[in-house]
Structure 1
Amino acid sequence: MALPRFTRPKDGIVRHSPHLFVANCGPAVGLSYDQIASVFGAYGEVKGIYPADESGTRVIISYNDISSSQAAMKALNGNPCRSFGGRYLHIRYSVQTVDTKVNSIASVPVSTSASDMDIPGLYLFHDFVTNTEEQELLDAVDSRPWKHLAKRRVQHYGYEFCYDIRNVNTNHNLGELPSFMSPILERIRSFPFLHQDADTSLDQLTVNEYPPGVGLSPHIDTHSAFERLIFSLSLAGPCIMEFRKYAAGVWQDQPTQSSDVEKLADENNSSFVRKAIYLPPRSLLLLSGEARYAWHHYIPHHKVDKVNDSLIRRSSRRVSFTIRKVRRGPCRCEFPEYCDSLR
């Protein structure tokens, strides 16, 4: 859903505008958008109704003209609204803003399918799980303890991923993958397009919870740590994932701090190729071959993503299930310039 951004006038002056910020109004207080549109539509044509924040108790009413917003303000602000059961609404004018940060990262086109990316070994499966399955998976991990990192929470199953060495300790097995993963693993193993020699006996799961604005620095999953198939299931919220292929000898020196990453992205650096894909909730991303071994993947640290001409605000959380198989020996891939086993 495309979401414009609104804010109060910064100079504190009450400035008339066609946009109204309405408090004590929204789905969280039992009012549907259709009900809201019916009431505010009595004062003029409503161009759009948008959530003002994630609380569900405040909305933005956007009219086509100022006279309509003035009429609604005069009639409804601070007065009991009979159509809303006598609820008092608190209204102020709002102004639409331009998210310059979103514009600054919009130079790379965003694809909605892997086939448009032209990256060998990259696949995206929409609606890999149902809404019901998504909620069951979220309930399952929320009933288990989380480990807190600097900006996100994680859970590890099978083997713990050690972020300091970007590898796993194969001598420390945490046990089998949890039973709630059985339907997912069975569905993965049934993929008809996978080669017959593909090893889908996956034994490592990392669950990441990303709050709004938190992303992931560019990286390639360590070759010596995992086999060639990496699956990532996106739940609860969407995001943009960017892929970068660096020139030989350049990729090892790339920054890992988010501020440096953003600066590098804005400089249109010619030392790497950039491509981006939109990952909707309930989709499964597969990295294999060149996509897994030679392309860095990266989630920008933004609260709003730009997909073509639409601004998509990230949800209150995004939870990813990254499923892999731990490697038992050195990697023997065909990408030595990116391989820690072959350097």
Structure 2
Amino acid sequence: MGLPRFGRPKNGDELSSNLFVANCGPAVGISDDEIASVFSKFGELNGVYAADDSGTRVIVSFSDVGSAQSAFMALHGKPCPELGGRSLFIRYSVLQPNPQELLQSVDSRPWNSLAKRRVQHYGYEFCYDIRNVNTKRCLGELPSFLSPILERISSCPTFKNADPDRIVLDQLTVNEYPPGVGLSPHIDTHSAFEDLIFSLSLAGPCIMEFRRYGDGDWRPRVASSIDTKVDCPEDGSNCIKRAIYLPPRSLLLLSGEARYAWHHYIPHHKIDKVDGKVIRRASRRVSFTLRKVRAGLCKCEFPQYCDSQR
């Protein structure tokens, strides 16, 4: 699959476990091993890679963000005696997920066929008959091809001050949707997974619709111009709908009320309308859904939807 691909963070405040280091490399007589010996003092390294063809710029990849930050603060803009006294110019760099390589990785592994779509499970298997996971049967660590995605999630400014354990994800479900195949309305089982649910869309687009069903006590506090109260024919009750367009390479995050109280589903049709434009679904859409398996009972603020509190 080749060497990892790196790029400049889109957000200037985004930290990363990877550093772009200029003014060192084989073209100026400094080997990767010499560079590694300097940077490994700050933490465990994944490797040292050529940043381009110049021979004077490298990527130093750490196993964690904290080590990279320590190295950046200690070495950026300063002469380094161990590297010939050269001043190093450093900035953060991020792994760039390659959609085709991600798809090739899952396509090289066995799929499980459901009624209308195919799935793969990693970390823990999701059991559709009980809508939960068997926490006693771990399938192993998440595959290495997920590393670019996990790094982008952990380095997102949204989680800059978050508890690191909150974004440690250990379960992946890969879904492949043929044209016209969607997903029935549902809320991911509260007792199965923690608060954060990430879903990466690849290969093709779709519309995902969210529904908040009335329960007698709940009332929307703030009216929204994109919320509409409609009759939901599935059960005859009223609900509020909201639709989101998910293009390829988009990453959806569900948390809080959206995760615990809103049903989400993908309509079963081959054409979506977005801003008045007709968008035909691709020959396949593949989603990577990442979650953290819950160890205990759910204690969310939405007991009417919670299997742990019924």
| Separation in 1, partners of 2:289, 2:203 | 15
Aligned equivalent of 2:202: 235
2:27 alignment counterpart = none
Instruction: Please provide the CA RMSD for this pair.
Output: 2.3
Q: Please, which of 155, 159, 162 is the counterpart of residue 196 of structure 1?
A: 162
CA distance in 2, matches of 1:215, 1:237: 13
After superposition, the Cα gap between the structure-2 partners of 1:268 and 1:150, relative to the gap in structure 1 and judged at 3 Å, is closer
Q: Which string of whole-angstrom CA distances, capped at 9 and with x for unpartnered residues, describes residues 97-145 of structure 1?
A: xxxxxxxxxxxxxxxxxxxxxxxxxxxxxxx996x70001000000000
User: What amino acid sits opposite 1:197 in the alignment?
Assistant: D
Distance between the aligned counterparts of 2:305 and 2:186, measured in 1? 11
The structure in which a higher percent of residues are strand is 2
1:320 and 2:270 equivalent? no
Partners in 2 of 1:223 and 1:311 — Cα distance? 35
Which digits, 9 at most, give the CA deviation of each residue in 1:264-318, with x for residues without a partner? 7569966110110100000000000111001000100000011121110000000
For 2:102 and 2:95, locate their aligned partners in 1 and report how far apart those are by CA, in whole Å: 10
Aligned position for 1:274: 241
Q: Structure 2: how far apart are the matches of 1:153 and 1:270?
A: 32
1:141 corresponds to which residue? 106
Write the distance in 2 (CA, Å) between the matches of 1:268 and 1:201. 37
Structure 1 unaligned regions, length at least 5:
1-127, 251-263
For 1:298, give the aligned amino acid. Y
- TM-score if structure 1 supplies the norm length? 0.56
Distance 1:267 1:225 in 2: 25
Residue 218 in 1 paired to residue 176 in 2? no
Q: Which residue of 2 aligns with 1:90?
A: none
Equivalent pair of 1:129/1:283 in contact (CA under 8 Å): no
- Cα distance change on mapping 1:297 and 1:155 into 2, 3 Å: same
Residues 24-103 of structure 1: pairs in structure 2 closer than 5 A = none
4+ long deviations beyond 6 Å: none
- Residue 169 in 1 paired to residue 127 in 2? no
Q: Which amino acid aligns with 2:130?
A: I
Deviation at 1:191, TM superposition (A): 1.4
Asked if 2 retains the 8 angstrom alpha-carbon contact of 1:225 and 1:327, the reply is: yes
Q: CA deviation at 1:166?
A: 0.6
- Residue 169 of structure 1: SS of its match in structure 2? strand
Which residue of 2 is the match for residue 303 of structure 1?
Answer: 270
Letter in 2 for 1:273: I
Give 5+ residue unaligned stretches, structure 2.
1-93, 218-230
1:187 is paired with a residue whose SS is helix
Equivalences, count: 203
Return the alpha-carbon distance in structure 2 between the equivalents of residues 231 and 139 of structure 1: 21
What is the percent sequence identity of the aligned residues? Answer: 75
Which structure has more relative contact order (CA 8 Å, sep 6+)? It is 1
Aligned residue for 2:124, secondary structure, equals coil
- Residue deviations 1:45-84, cap 9 Å, x none? xxxxxxxxxxxxxxxxxxxxxxxxxxxxxxxxxxxxxxxx
Distance verdict in 2 for CA 1:192–1:222, change over 3 Å: same
